[in-house]
Amino acid sequence: MLSAIFITNLKKAGNNRECILTKGEIKMKQIPIGVSNRHIHVTKEDLEKLFGNGHELTVAKELSQPGEFAAEETLTIKTDKAEIVRVRILGPVRKFTQVEISKTDARNLGINAPLRSSGNIDGTPGITLIGPNGEIQINKGVIVAERHIHMTPQDAAQFQVSDGQYVSVKVKGDRGLIFNQVLVRVKDTYALDMHVDTDEANSGNIKTGDFGELIL
C-alpha cells in the first residue's frame, strides 16, 4: 500500500492532534487555509514613485507569514478596458513589483494573466498602477497565483513532501471539493498555511481559518 498523508478538515473543532505518518498508517494534523484577495507587491523605487520620496509602508494587519503584512496603502490597477480601485499593497517591499489577481479580475480587466508561482513573472503582462503621487506602467508582473502551501522544512519532513512538489487538498463542507495541483513551498521562515484566491474560495465556500485535507 502506498503511504498517504491526510490533513483533515476539522473546521472550528479545536482539535490539535499532531501527525507523524508511517507507511500504512494515517494520523491527523490541522492545516489552516487562508483566502488571498487581489493584492500588489512593490519595489522601494516604485513605492516612492506612487506615494512620494521617502515613503514607507504603514502596517495595517500582520499576515500569516512571519514578517509580512497588509499595508494601509492601496492602489488603482488599470487597463484599457477597466480598472479596480483600492487594491491592497502587501509589505515589506520586494525586489520586483507584482500584481496578483483572480481569473475573474483578469476577465473584467481584459488581461490574460497566466497562472504562475509568486516571483515567476517573465513573459507576464503589465498594467498601470495609480497612486496618490502619480502613476506608473509596469511591463510585466500581473499573475494569477498558483494555490500553494507554505511550510517549514520540519513540516515538510513530517508530511514527507518537498519544495516544489504538487499535491491535492480536499475540503469538506456543503460545497466540498478537491484542489489538485497545489504547490508546496518550503522555507525556514514560513508558517504552515495554504493560500487560495477568492475564486477558489468561493467555489468551495471556504473562509480564512478553515482547514483542508492534503492527499499525496
Residue 29 to residues 25, 59, 98, 175: CA-CA distances in angstroms?
13, 31, 33, 22
| pLDDT at residue 195, rounded to an integer | 98
CA 75, CA 150: separation in Å to the nearest integer? 27
Are residues 113 and 152 located together in one domain of the fold?
Answer: no
Are residues 65 and 101 located together in one domain of the fold?
Answer: yes
Of 126, 145, 164, at which residue does a domain stop?
Answer: 145
What is the CATH number for 176?
A: 2.40.40
Are residues 189 and 209 located together in one domain of the fold?
Answer: yes
pTM of the model: 0.85
CA 123, CA 141: separation in Å to the nearest integer? 8
Q: What is the pLDDT of residues 189-210, one digit of tens each?
A: 999 999 999 999 999 999 999 9
Please, what is the end-to-end C-alpha distance for the chain in angstroms?
A: 13
Are residues 122 and 68 located together in one domain of the fold?
Answer: yes
Residue 14 cell numbers, joined: 479545536
| pLDDT at residue 149, rounded to an integer | 97
Extract the residue ranges of the chain whose pLDDT is less than 50: 1-28
In one-letter notation, the amino acid at residue 15 is N
| pLDDT at residue 29, rounded to an integer | 60
Are residues 25 and 59 located together in one domain of the fold?
Answer: no
Are residues 212 and 189 located together in one domain of the fold?
Answer: yes
Are residues 64 and 123 located together in one domain of the fold?
Answer: yes
Domain carrying residue 51:
37-145
| pLDDT at residue 11, rounded to an integer | 34
What is the torsional sign of CA 99, 102, 108, 113? positive
